[in-house]
Chains A and B, each alone.
Chain A
């Protein structure tokens, strides 16, 4: 049977809905055990606080909209949540992730690289805006982010961590931070050419599968380099985030001085998120253990300065 997504429905997080606001799209609900969705609320009928509380109380984390109404949903979140300084930063952060997920999903379905780059740029700008307010602590942020390692969740988390690491290392220019954030959101763009059954494989990939997986930095780089609208360091985030200081990384086998500083940041954020996420074959690794892991490979795989900055920040706030 076709998935809801294949039938033209897009899941949206109930956590991003605001009471007393009107969405310009119909909302659909999937009841437990039912393969189909039913109309929950017509467009332009406002959701009440009680509606939202009931949905959350019933454990309903997602409603659905028609795929063609994704734009209206994005507008709704931008207008009512992300740009509203009265909304708590955690909710805005969640809404931002949601908006970007929808835009990414949209672009992915249409196989439009342009759409992904545009969504990444917007994400970078909004994210740095929210993080610049300094009202979000790591622990809050960590609990806001999802940790399920779906590809979008992963790149979204990595982008947030990269921006925070950039700040910790003294990057203060908001445009520069936004560029780092959007590059991190695109760092795995080449993975969309890898078949899902290989990406989601539980066991160890075969040599041939590994060869395919190891091509994703190159594939992503080729795709983005041809555009001409990304900075060199942004391209290097995509191309070099699997390089290691000792020269045993891929795709080039670069050594410490040859790796771009932004790629070194992304490498740490990438592994941090990969280990702290729930995977089908293992539970999430506790944050303190992940820090131990990063520290044990500092100077060998990871840049010691990046690891020290990130781990000391994380340890002090968990």
Chain B
């Protein structure tokens, strides 16, 4: 898959300081007590995204932005963003090869100033809109 390197300002701090951030590939090492359902693989790229407000919050509108992905599994994807994300928020992702996926934020943790890591799970594979099919 083609990996695009984003402009400096859109990169969360951790990705800027980790020299090999975009070059990592292959399976993510798992610990002996890892309870995950599916193995994860490094997937370092920039994706276009639309972040939706929480279902119960009135007046907020979907925000288009750019996110970085860290790793991927059959169940979900881990993304980095410069703003805090909240559990149950929906995000529509457009991967570099045009594949579209909708995810829901499960957790979000602060890694550094203006750098948030969010674990998201896939909620609706949207194959008909996908260029890759």
Contact = CB atoms under 8 A, between A and B. Distances in A.
A171 interface: no
B49 to A, nearest CB: 20
Interface string B85-120: 011100000000000000000011110000000000
Interface string A231-249: 0100000010000000100
A252 B33 CA distance: 22
Nearest to A218: B87
Interface string A253-277: 1110010000000000000000000
A225 B57 contact: yes
B56 interface: yes
Given A218-B87, A258-B84, A225 B108 contact: no
B62 to A, nearest CB: 16
Contact of A252 (B54, B58, B84): B84
Interface string B40-72: 000000000000001111100000000000000
Contacts of B35: 208
A230 B109 CA distance: 23
A221 B110 contact: no
Contact of A226 (B33, B58, B88): B88
B116 to A, nearest CB: 8
A32 B55 CA distance: 51
Interface residues of B, number: 15
Nearest to B88: A222
Given A221-B86, A258-B84, A226 B109 contact: no
Given A222-B88, A258-B84, A227 B56 contact: yes
Contacts of A222: 87-88
B109 A252 contact: yes
Residue from A222, A227, A230, A247 with most neighbouring chain B CB atoms (10 Å): A222
Contacts of A251: 107-109
A228 interface: yes
Q: Which of B33, B54, B108 lies at the interface centre, i.e. has the most chain A CB atoms within 10 A of its CB? A: B54
Contacts of A239: 86
B110 A255 contact: yes
Contacts of A207: 33
Nearest to A230: B56
Given A252-B84, A253-B110, 13 more contacts: A222-B88, A225-B54, A225-B56, A225-B88, A226-B54, A227-B56, A228-B55, A228-B58, A232-B57, A239-B86, A252-B110, A254-B84, A254-B110
Interface of B: 33, 35, 54-58, 84, 86-88, 107-110
19 contacts: A218-B87, A218-B107, A222-B87, A222-B88, A225-B56, A225-B57, A225-B88, A226-B88, A227-B56, A228-B56, A228-B58, A229-B56, A239-B86, A251-B107, A252-B108, A253-B110, A254-B84, A254-B110, A258-B84
